[in-house]
Amino acid sequence: MKMRMLGQGLEVSAIGLGCMGMSQSYGPNPGDEQAMIKVLRDAVDLGGVTFFDTAEVYGPFVNEELVGKALAPIRDRVVIATKFGFEFTEDGKPVGTSSRPEVIKRAVEGSLRRLGLDTIELYYQHRVDPNVPIEDVAGTVKELIEAGKVRHFGMSEAAAGTIRRAHTVQPVTAVQSEYSLWTRTQEAEVLPTLEELGIGFVPFSPLGKGFLTGKIDTSTTFTAGDIRASIPRFEQDARQANQDLVDLLGRVAVRKGSTPAQIALAWLLARKPWIVPIPGTRRIERLQENLGAAEIELSDADLTEIQDATDKIEIQGARYPEHLERQTGL
């Protein structure tokens, strides 16, 4: 596996692994624990992955526990990123965003315990809290870094101006947002800001929550507990309208002897050398397919073909239902 550099000298594998789906969001039943542990360890041992992404709210809490348990024997070979930014009831139910300093300090102790770490390598603010100045958030993380509990500060779904303000207090190592061939809003302001400031970018849902793999069409049904059932972009009419994008990826994939998913990931890798996508999966064969994208070289002609074609495709449907979109800082 090739390596890439995020901000502040943090080196990680060119493709990471998003772990959320192992515990939630893609059906009523999370993945079997032993099977998920095997996927996580195989990602390191067979695929060379060093970068794993989780969060306290995934589950809640159980995804961190899974990642911590799975990676404990190989902890010195990996970078584990997790996130704070939600408040919970006494029985562990999330009740909304909160990045008050006392919430962050409580959250880091829980994440350290569940992950079995002395220090969290990359600690993201999961969602910008409009009620807490970002300078206070960055200052709190700076204190955690000085205390040795955190090494690097990250932000998720933050706007360019917010990133700049945070960066003046505590240098930001990476920003995480949804980014793929069908979600490109970050190109206008966020990506230029990151390039200017020397901050890495970590796209989540780089395969469009599965749509860009070519495995989803208008006949696909989503089970209870699958987040895609609530996303406008996955409504049947939208899927039909957005099929042109999958067809494009398929044409390039045939020429390259690869798959649509690999082309979608290779396109992201070709954008900038400091972009590190984190596709998620519960299956070994999909893991192997995704990691194979790191070996695909898209030529200038390939990239021009993709750009020219996508310029003519108008993606239909919002990426989130309104209540979730309101939680983003974009």
- Is 58 catalytic? The answer is yes
**DSSP-derived secondary structure for 97-160:** E---HHHHHHHHHHHHHHHT-SSEEEEEESS--TTS-HHHHHHHHHHHHHTTSEEEEEEES--H
Phi and psi torsions of 151, nearest 5°: -105, -40
Q: Which helix (H) or strand (E) is 180 found in, with range?
A: none
Is the distance from CB of 175 to CB of 199 less than 8 angstroms?
Answer: yes
Cα distances from 95 to residues 21, 132, 169, 308, in angstroms, run 21, 16, 28, 44
| Catalytic choice (26, 58, 123, 124) | 58
Contact 191, 199 (CB under 8 A): no
Compute the C-alpha angle 248/251/253, nearest 5°. Answer: 105
- Rounded Cα distance between 124 and 150, Å, is 10
Tokens of 127: 């969602």
**DSSP strand E in the chain: where?**
3-5, 11-13, 17-18, 51-53, 79-84, 86-88, 94-97, 120-125, 150-156, 172-178, 200-204
Which three-class secondary structure state does DSSP give residue 56? coil
**Which residue shows structure tokens 């994208």?**
293
CA distance 164 to 151: 19
Catalytic residue positions, numbered:
58
